[in-house]
Structure 1
Amino acid sequence: MDYKIELIPLAVQDVDRSVEFYGNGLGWSVDHDRTVTPELRFVQVTPPGSACSICFGLGLEMMPQGSSQYIQVVVADADAALAELRDRGIDCQGVDDQPWGRFVYFEDPDGNRWALQQLVIPG
């Protein structure tokens, strides 16, 4: 049986700010942004090339208020990822070289942390 992760929830304080950060800041696809009622809004965003999306909104009750996630994704080139983030004005650290991968880290406005990992094949 295959298990495919399709959706990871994030807790955010300001939905519009998060749509701006992920959609315009990072340039990720905003797949859905639906306000069902004033108390219920669902936003789904997908990174380029990913089969898994993230979601946030109002009234979803998927994550405790004030909580944060740590999400790690794989990229082909950590240096290129760092350059793209910096070109988009995203605050991020330089490349962190480790024996098990090369990493670039950043946070969204609500403290959800992201690690972009370039896999390293031992030589």
Structure 2
Amino acid sequence: MDLKLEMVVLPVSDIDRAKAFYEKVGFRLDVDYTASDDFRVVHFTPPGSECSIIFGKGMTDIPAGAFQGLYLIVSDIDEAHAELTGRGIAVSEIFHDEGGLLHHGHEGGRCVHDGKGQRRIAGLHPERASYGSYLTFSDPDGNGWVLQEVSKRLPGR
């Protein structure tokens, strides 16, 4: 049985502000539908992704900005940084983490792995290893996104 992640319901406080932000980031607007005063759905898909985000009125009771560590994969983190900053999106500088494999946090967060915190190291992964370099940004509500450079997929992916 194949199971494919199709959609993530994103908690936002201002639908139109979130819509403008995700358009600016470059996500494709698929649907903006209002059924009633109590229900509106806005559906976006990141370029190249099969999984989408959806937000709106009457969608979720999760507090706006509660999601952290939403991963987007890019093949070139330098190009992604340049494109997002060129679009006026406030992004972090490119970094890698001291563990060298997977960044487990978002803006300024301290995460625990095997009893040790992780630390951001400025710049690209020293060997430019696939899965090793990152940047982050947040939407206007504080939902946190991580861009990870993947130039070569692990076997089976």
Same fold (TM over 0.5): yes
What is the deviation of 1:65? 2.7
The 8 Å contact of residues 13 and 110 in structure 1, kept in 2 or not, is answered as: yes
Q: Alignment partner of 2:133: what SS?
A: strand
Partner of 2:11: 11
Residue 119 of structure 1, CA deviation? 2.6
Normalising by the residue count of structure 1, what TM-score does the alignment of the two structures yield?
Answer: 0.90
Aligned equivalent of 2:147, options 112, 116, 119: 116
Unaligned runs of 5+ in 2: 102-131, 153-157
Runs of 4+ residues over 4 Å off in structure 1: none
Identity of aligned residues (%): 40
CA RMSD of aligned residues (A): 1.4
Alignment match, 1:41: 40
Query: How many residues align structurally?
Result: 119
What CA distance in whole angstroms lies between the structure 2 residues aligned with 1:67 and 1:93? 18
Report what 1:74 is aligned to.
73
- Residue ranges of structure 1 left out of the alignment (5+ in a row): none
Query: Which protein is richer in strand relative to its size?
Result: 1
Give the partner amino acid of 2:64. Answer: G
Cα 1:21–1:67 shift into 2, 3 Å: closer
- In structure 1, C-alpha distance between the alignment counterparts of 2:38 and 2:92, rounded to whole Å: 36
- Who is 2:135 aligned against? 104
